A = this chain, B = another copy of it.
Amino acid sequence: MTELNDSESVHGTSNLSASSVSSLAHFIDQVTMLCGPTQVQVGDAIEPRFLQPARYGAGRAAVMVRPGSSAEAAAVLALASRHGRRVVLQGAHTGLVRAATPMDGQDEVLLSTDRLREVFELDLLDRSLRVSAGFRLSEVNERLAAQGLWFPVDLSADPSIGGMLAHNTGGTRMLRYGDVRANTLGLQVALAESADPAGQVVRFGQGLQKDNSALALGQLFIGSSGSLGLITEATLKLSPLPRQRAVALVAPSALDAVFPLYQAVMQRWGVLVSAFEGISRAALEAGLHGQDLSRWFSGALPDYAMLIELSSELPAEQLDLRGLLQGWLEEAFESGAVSDAVLDADEAIWGLRHRISEGLRAQGKVIGLDLSLPRRHFMSFRERGQAWLAHFPQLRLADFGHLGDGGLHFNMVWPASAGALEPAQELTLRQGLYALVAELGGSISAEHGVGPQLQAAYRAHWAQVAPGVLDWSGRVQSVFDPNRRLGNTEWGA
């Protein structure tokens, strides 16, 4: 196919160990011939954005390659397989568990899906979109808006579609629309190993809404944290854009009023409820950072607040969502369950919600746990979690989360003024909280995935909760990636 060349790479400098130089140079030459010299970066010449994740320290890779099509991506994997090289897959690099960040600069190939943008096929009658992995969520929704449609997995970040599938993101409106899994009708995968230089691409699911004519293998890749295979495209299920929304920020009279209010809202409005978020006072303060929105509340900031959103495809003339919400709030106020509430400020309320993470980062080092819990244990986890934090007096809890789906961003800030947080101390902190999650039947990763960041916690959690999960997961990973070339998550024991 190409002339082989064993000479040292000229695409950049890198601190490679002597033993790996010649084979790496050979690989680089071949991958350069495949994707073109402008799409290959080597060692120290790799742009920082490919190495620096949104959270945690930068990684290092031997080489970064950006194939321009599914076929090219499959060929890169085949090449890596022939050369015995490990490949880390990266979308928009917005993930929070380092699953897309190469951790071992001596050895790893970084494959960016940035340029996988061949397919964007909208089927209006099926309300589905076949789309390449490299498109960003924001781009997809901008293009769909003109048709009155959207992909309703709604996030503060702007990931690639491939990254969203690999991590099965949930977001703020999951209560109404479900996670990525519930909105995916099929996907195409380039597999890890192939004897054919063209690689191996398989389509799992043909994009139909109803299909039981095969095993659900495609489901395995959704939420696999960039292991098992490279998702090169997906067929997404779209939803009609709502024609109206009504949003309220509501302070309960006491913490134990929160879930009864949640239950009342769900029983009353069901599918009209598109978000039900909980925000602690410390998180509220972080979200208000630099904004004078404290006028919203008649008194001081409440200890806890709920963000409640109703939405509908019907226009307000046919269904008065704002009126429904207001009527209910008045009742709840009179009954004493609610002490304060704000309506009529949708943009400002969501702005506050989406500024929390940034506001917390401004206060110091954020230790963010992305948990979910059975709702009956949600408040008890908060309480017992706070008790555990008493061992770390400098730490400040600023939790918020998706009460509606049981998700809890149990985020804590270690203030800059407290000096460095020792890794051993952070480990102790996390282990105590994860043990509590396991005890209460919760998840240590609600929507962020596993990756190197949670690798040890993953293993410890399942070894305790259900060891069979580790055993069978390792076996299934071995089917698709027997030599562990893809990604940096080990699913086995």
Contacts and interface: CB of A to CB of B under 8 A. Distances in A.
Contacts of A242: 270
A159 interface: no
A376 B269 contact: no
B473 A214 contact: yes
B216 A270 contact: no
B240 A270 contact: yes
A318 interface: yes
A111 interface: no
A71 interface: no
Chain A interface category by residue count:
35 or more
A232 to B, nearest CB: 13
B210 A407 contact: yes
A458 B215 CA distance: 11
A213 B446 CA distance: 7
B208 A443 contact: yes
A208 B371 CA distance: 11
Contacts of A224: 215-216
Interface stretch (A38-46, A79-87, A118-126, A346-354): A118-126
Given A212-B223, A313-B269, A443-B212, A475 B466 contact: no
B219 A216 contact: yes
A9 interface: no
Nearest to A168: B212
A473 B213 contact: no
A426 interface: no
Interface string A454-487: 1000100110011011001101110110000000
30 contacts: A123-B374, A125-B375, A167-B212, A168-B212, A168-B216, A174-B209, A178-B178, A178-B182, A179-B210, A181-B216, A202-B468, A202-B472, A203-B469, A208-B374, A209-B405, A209-B406, A210-B407, A212-B225, A212-B448, A212-B449, A213-B446, A213-B454, A213-B461, A214-B473, A217-B469, A219-B219, A271-B271, A272-B314, A318-B324, A479-B479
Interface of A: 123-127, 148, 167-168, 170, 174, 178-179, 181-182, 200-204, 206-217, 219-220, 222-225, 228, 239-240, 242, 259, 262-263, 266-272, 312-314, 318-319, 324, 372-376, 402, 405-407, 441-450, 454, 458, 461-462, 465-466, 468-469, 472-473, 475-477, 479-480, 491
